Amino acid sequence: MNILMVLTSHDQLGDTGKKTGFWLEEFAAPYYVFKDAGAKITLASPKGGQPPLDPSSDTEDAQTDDTRRFKSDEAAQQQLANTAKLSTITDDGFDAIFYPGGHGPLWDLAEDGDSRTLIESFAASDRPIGAVCHAPAVFRDPSNADGSPLVSGKKVTGFTNTEEEAVGLTDVVPFLVEDMLIENGGEYRKGDDWASFVVVDGKLVTGQNPASSAEAARKLLELL
């Protein structure tokens, strides 16, 4: 079982002068769900190499068993430091694709043509696609074969407007995940803020926030 995980390469939080990137738990939790299930994991990002880590996800209060495991796992750290360049990746040989969040994807992966092509290929061949927290931003541009937005008519979730408000970034982000999914015709669902909430519709798996990361990865595996 081969799973492709796609991370952001974007590290600027709008024009705040602060750093962003991927959210550590949203990478580490799914990574170990897949790894412990025996999957072969390939990591990619638009620029390749080491993806930027959102410093807010690296604070003591943001740590989980999975992030602590990652911090003592040199092989995983090496793999993360050497992500493949997304433009060199085709969908060939992969059984599923998964996008960890963090605010970074709102800027780069949401607009990335290579990512869009991959998502459309996985959807057309009915292979599982997963994204958690801010990563459903990657569904902004991909379309179905008939030209309709990929999420149109599908049950989806993603970081809520109220969660974005709670972290004070409503006016910083280029768009709000919840609003975009609704505008694209998605049947947006949400649970309580910060609690695990995952939606599965066909082969599309979306998680609402960092707490949903492991569950989203498990649901993706169930589809394989």
Instruction: Give per-residue pLDDT as tens, 23-67.
Output: 999 999 999 999 999 999 999 999 999 999 999 999 999 999 999
Average of pLDDT values for 62-86? 97
- Per-residue confidence at 214, pLDDT binned at 50, 70, 90? very high
- Per-residue confidence at 166, pLDDT binned at 50, 70, 90? very high
pTM (two decimals)? 0.98
Extents of the domains making up the chain: 2-222
Q: Which CATH architecture has domain 2-222?
A: 3-Layer(aba) Sandwich (3.40)
Using alpha carbons, select from 207, 162, 154, 211 the residue that is nearest to residue 181. Answer: 154
Give the rounded percent of residues in the chain with a pLDDT score beyond 70. Answer: 100
Give the rounded percent of residues in the chain with a pLDDT score beyond 90. Answer: 100
- Per-residue confidence at 12, pLDDT binned at 50, 70, 90? very high
Q: Provide the H-helix boundaries in 88-183.
A: 104-107, 113-124, 161-166, 177-183
d(CA 189, CA 159): 10
**pLDDT value of residue 38:** 98
Token couple for 77 = 């750290």
Average of pLDDT values for 63-80? 97
Query: Average per-residue pLDDT in the chain?
Result: 97
Average of pLDDT values for 133-159? 97
**pLDDT value of residue 49:** 98
DSSP characters for 39-97? -EEEEEESS-BSPPBPGGGGSGGG--HHHHHHHT-HHHHHHHHTBEEGGG--STT-SEE
Q: Are 22 and 101 in contact (CB under 8 A)?
A: yes
**pLDDT value of residue 93:** 96
**pLDDT value of residue 174:** 98
d(CA 130, CA 127): 10
d(CA 11, CA 55): 10
Q: Which residue has the tokens 């970034």?
A: 169
